[in-house]
Amino acid sequence: MHVILDLHGLPGGVNNQTIGERVGGLDWWYNETALAWSMKTVEAVLDFIQQSGQPGSFTLEPVNEPMDNPDDIGLPSSLSEEASAWLLKYYRAVLDRVAAVNPQTPVMLNDGFKGPGYWAGNFTPDQNIVFDVHYYYFNGRPAGPNNVTEMICADAQAAGGGQPDDHKFPVFTAEWAIETLYNNSLDARKSILSAGLAAFGKHTKGSAYWTGKVVSDEAVAGQGTKQDYWSHKGLLELGLVDPESASGFCD
């Protein structure tokens, strides 16, 4: 097993949401104290990895979905140019520290919904980087069962785009899910899930579904609840995980 150790939140809050350490706060941005505490956390994680006895089994991701404009979640505008510069300062500090401790430890950089091509030119080919992209279809785009697989294919094909030809970094789809903005259909789940697994498996270095287990009776647009679309455990138990059924999709 290979483990991605993800710092899902940082001191002060990175996106104003429960997934960013602090609801109602964006105080990680431009805050040297918060940055210093973040680096202390990175040090603790690196120490854990080195002391694990299996340091080659870990990747470090220093932040998840950083956004200073979270109302635009899922869109490039969720992260401003000023915030991108601050985030790059943190990324460079993390990369320097990881390289000093163990350069064999990959660092996974979340793209802030801007795409790997936005960031790639800031790094050199010798740096041990993997880009993390996330794709959701319940917000920001008019997605439904009839068109979402087309969006999935387009996202997968574009995921690694825009990187310099002389040093393209690997890209991993570390979060995605099948809930759509409109007309969710229980019967359509298998085809959408299979399409995503096939497309992201072909055009990126695979994917991780968000999330492992969900218990929620919150309604979605159309049929069912959040649990019916977001719980990978539930989808497995229903026999809906079958990427081979989408063989040839998005070639």
pLDDT in tens, 49-61: 999 999 999 999 9
Residues 6+ apart with CB under 8 A from 77: 69
pLDDT in tens, 157-169: 999 888 988 889 9
pLDDT in tens, 29-49: 999 999 999 999 999 999 999
The pTM score is 0.94
List residues bridging with 137 in a β-sheet: 180
Residues 6+ apart with CB under 8 A from 234: 213, 214, 227, 228
Residues 6+ apart with CB under 8 A from 103: 128
Direct distance between the N- and C-terminal alpha carbons of the chain, in angstroms, rounded to an integer? 28
Predicted confidence (pLDDT) at residue 20 exceeds the cutoff of 60: no
